[in-house]
Structure 1
Amino acid sequence: MAAKKPYTLIGLVVSVVFLLYLFLGDSNAPHKLAGRRPSKEDGLIKSYKLNNLQATSRSFNNKEQVLVLTPMSKFYPEYWENLLGLSYPRNLVELGFILPSNSLGDQALKQLDAAVKKVQTGPANQRFAKVTILRQDTASLESQSEKDRHALSAQKKRRSQMSLARNSLFLTTIGPATSWILWLDADVVETPVTLIQDLAKHDKDIIVANCYQRYVDPKKGASIRPYDFNSWQDSEKALEIAAEMGDDEIIVEGYQEIATYRALMAYMYDAKNDPHLEVPLDGVGGTALLVKAAVHRDGAMFPPFPFYHLIETEGFAKMAKRLGYQPWGLPNYLVYHYNE
């Protein structure tokens, strides 16, 4: 028995060395898994050269990947049908949604989930590359009526909540191959089918369409009117108002109580003019907003707090400008908001 002890000890040492070799041996090789042959996925390391990632005016031809992001509190079938009607190749499009954790969000989730499953289990060439649905874990307004959403008294709280939702959404869904992010509101129900290509061909870091609303005028019949007033060019008056504000106060546009005298893109629309006329902006709305993914990667987000007395999408525009990116708008290129 005594003669066997050295061999037992040697065997034990050899076994330990062998195990250490398996797990610590070649640091440049994939880790080996004992008990089976390694698959292609074992130890796979993917490298992405983001400096080579393109976001160009020829997004369609260059097969650039687009991430369409939508905060959603109510499911509008018209929104979904319009989204499905967009002509950008679906294999290059990923979708992302975030819904509030309340009764309205529960109802919207059921409808969205059914709509998504119908498409994603249908013909392979009609499916989107990826669909992500998130639930918002922060508070949100229970009432989503147009009147309650747009009351001046609700703006700071509402838009702070929207900022948190937007930030959660893009930080969760943006991928290393994402070239563009299209922010498309859930109540935008009508756009040109070439919306993504039309906005991308301007090759701007940030570009926003002009959001209007269809309605029936008692005297004129079918008509349209401005809806989104968050896209604007700054004014001296607005800067003076901001200079006199407290740190936690914000300026919101489109309210008589705060006369800023900014140049609002909503009122720049000219039906006879070029739909691709570009104007520089200082604030943007988020109803149909196309952003190069590099802008978000560089740190531009939607501030849920007063940032130079701006918040949410308007605060995003200010932050982007501080990072060296110029927002642009298309006053004659219209998308349409649902009319409640």
Structure 2
Amino acid sequence: MQRSLYDKEHELYRESVRAFLEREVAPYQEQWDRDGMIDRSVFARAAKSGIYALEVPEQHGGSGESDYRYRMVVCEEIARINALSFALTIALQDDLVLHYLTDLMNDEQKNRWLPGFASGDLIGALAMTEPGAGSDLQGIKTTARRDGDDWILSGQKTFISSGIMADLVIVAARTDPEAGSRGFSLFLVERDMPGFVRGRKLEKMGLPGQDTAELFFEDVRLPAGNLLGTEGRGLQHLMSHLPRERLGVSATAIATARAIFDMTREYCTQRVAFGKPISALQHVRFELAEMSTEIDIAEAYVDKSVVEYNAGRLTPTDAAKGKWFVSELQKRVLDRCLQLHGGYGYMMEYPVARAYVDTRIQTIYGGTTEIMKELIGRELAR
């Protein structure tokens, strides 16, 4: 089926992205996985090459390009080399941190911080999740109280992607315990602020090169200029940015499913059993046919979501539909691809094995599948 999402400019961009990844990422990703950390110097080179931070306005060092199709190209090309730890770190910047900053920062904050993100010298993180508050954001216990013109931030966060590497962390905190959903605000916490303590780097089952951490805030004094957005509207800020985050998960999911499926199809034409390629077996052909069909159909939904997002029409409900369905499809496709590889699929030297464990988080972060269904169901029942 002819895919009509991209124009000539996007395919030219794809060539430059592919060249960058083959030069700067593919040779090093296994070492990053062994180290448990990506060499942060690669992000400065990535930003210089236009791999991310495209949406940063020109006056702050970016290109001011908001067409999400360029993000899709990056997702697809990173999936092609199976560098999912790198993919998540880039997505964290483009689909979360930078999206918040460009939307919510005032001019002074933009002048102060955006040039560093545009150059790749600053890395950000978003800290919402706590030990007792994941999908239920109103369960956040981290607090910020006024002290003169400053704020005093206290609490802890967990499962924070890029928590060790980050130079600037967006932290959600409760600022008025009596105000219900209007009692939360967002703050910008800078590296090495007194009282900001990074806990252990968490050991995950997948994405080993992508650092994930616990963060502690022990009476961190924040100047008034470190409030992000409007006081008391933190929860609303978080909710309004979820469609972009969930579109990002869908983009990574469909790109990874497609890339691993293509690798598996090629493997099936080369792997010989009973004197012929296993692709000659009807069961294998049926498996490939089913996966190819499912991926094509899901890809059409993601493409439509990208078009809707570019037009400013992607709703939280439609983003939630894509997030749960495509991430569940990714998990299902990779499981079947691993099965078709047989024993080799269980060997970490094969991309399908690494992608299999990296994929498992996709149905959890950004809102679990169960939460997505609940949100969609509420909307349908209104």
Q: TM-score, normalization: structure 1?
A: 0.25
More helix by share: 2
From the two aligned structures, give the one with the greater strand fraction.
1
